A and B are shown apart, each in its own frame.
Chain A
Amino acid sequence: MVTTLLIVGIIVAVVVLYLIIIFNSLVRLRVKVKNAWAQIDVQLKRRYDLIPNLVDAVKGYMKHEKSVLTEITNARANLTKGPIEKRAEASNQITEALKSIFAVAENYPDLKASENFKMLQEELSGTENKISYSRQFYNDSVMRLNTKVQVFPTNIFAKMMGFTKEKFFKTENEAERKPVKVKF
């Protein structure tokens, strides 16, 4: 009688321990995903802050390139207004506008030589890379969470514990999906 009770007790203890371990690992993965998402915003904010500096540095030299500058200023303004889709679009517009500004700057040797401009170019280029890497890391974290939530036997318990798949970060810009044609 006592032995059966003991065996049952041990089995229950092992199962409970297993559930605790799964739960904790799922929690850790989900927290990593949330943190990775927040990191993307940190980089986006950095880019947001740098753009006015770039516009200031550039407008004195590029007096005749008004269109590029207004484009980026408007896109930046749209980043904080409107629904998510519009904001994502604005973010893509900024990336395009930055490329245009740096391409146009090639025609202004004085601007290119200015230390301030060079520093801003390096900062913005670095920030664009960091935005890209933080999105990559976010997707890697989502992959780890989604895998754990779906493999057997964890998937049985994951749903009960309230863990679901997270969404990957996808590029919404259709233009980015098409093959890039480079014309010289």
Chain B
Amino acid sequence: MFDEVSRNKRNSIFLILIFLVIISILGVILGAIWGSIYFGGILALIFAIIYSLIVFKSGDKMILSMSGAKEVKKSEYPHLFHTVEGLAIAAGIPTPKAYVIKDSALNAFATGKDPSNAAITVTTGLLEKLNRQELEGVIAHEMSHIKNYDIRFMMLTVVMVGVVLLLSDFILRSFWFGGGRRRDSGNSHLIILLIGLALAILAPIVVQLVRLSISRKREYMADASGAILTRYPEGLASALEKIKDDPDPLVDKANRATAHLFISSPFRKVKKSSLWSTHPPINDRIKKLRGM
């Protein structure tokens, strides 16, 4: 159980480095095209910073209200509260707030850029259909996302993807509109421009794939960390079996932007492994848990 966690941490750092390399290359290309036009680039940076601040500050509240989650009191759902409190003690973090979505679908998610401002949301369907150990497994998985700072991490990747998309867009537009601006000509310059063009088209695709790969690794890591918390991987494995067979995947309350936060993809028609999914295939997750 402990090995899975350290392996995933290393992989995630590696993937972030890839991101930074791609952003730097695009920045260089943009600089080469624009020559001495600086403030376009500075404008892009300012936009990126404002965008990231917005995502960071109100991301949590937006997601909670978009999904119809309501904060609940201990008297309404005592068992849920006790489970969350107990696992927060095991994780050594402050107790997150508890939210409930009234829906028969089986799903859950965690929000919070750090453990002191965190919340765990579950559906009423989940509370009804899972037994104690299974519920503990799910909550432990969400608690691990909070403890491992996954939510902050994924927000960062979303921002980085946004910046890459922005830079690529600028490069492509510069080709369309800035054609006559360049004074120097020559074949070598043309080749660099063509390479730049190719990268600007490919970069958005590559970073999306990288982001989704990070998202899947983090899901595996949360499964492993959750198993460490409960010392009982079968709890979550059994819960995932029930979630797998759930016919109603909560499509109306989630969308592409929030999909990666849920314990199981709300668009769960894809059973096989796909580079485009935010979550690893459920059967693989169950197998890994049972192999611990």
A residues at B contact (CB < 8 Å) = 32, 36, 39, 43, 119, 122-123, 125-126, 129-130, 132-134, 136-137, 140-141
Contact = CB atoms under 8 A, between A and B. Distances in A.
B92 A141 contact: yes
A36 B231 contact: no
A134 B89 contact: yes
Nearest to B228: A140
Chain A interface, >50% SS class: helix
Nearest to B89: A133
B89 A126 contact: no
B198 interface: no
Contacts of B89: 39, 43, 130, 133-134, 137
Nearest to A32: B92
Contacts of A119: 78
Query: What 8 A-B pairs come out closest when comparing CB atoms?
Result: A126-B82, A133-B90, A133-B89, A129-B86, A133-B86, A130-B86, A122-B78, A134-B89
B64 interface: no
Chain B interface, >50% SS class: helix
Interface residues of B, number: 13
A137 B92 CA distance: 7
Contacts of B90: 133-134, 136-137
Given A43-B89, A133-B86, A133-B89, 16 more contacts: A32-B92, A36-B92, A39-B89, A119-B78, A122-B78, A125-B82, A126-B79, A126-B82, A126-B83, A126-B86, A132-B86, A133-B87, A134-B89, A136-B231, A137-B89, A141-B92
Nearest to B75: A119
30 contacts: A32-B92, A36-B92, A39-B89, A119-B78, A122-B79, A122-B82, A123-B78, A123-B82, A126-B78, A126-B79, A126-B81, A126-B82, A126-B83, A126-B85, A126-B86, A129-B86, A130-B82, A130-B85, A130-B86, A130-B89, A132-B86, A133-B87, A133-B90, A134-B89, A134-B90, A136-B231, A137-B89, A137-B90, A137-B91, A137-B92
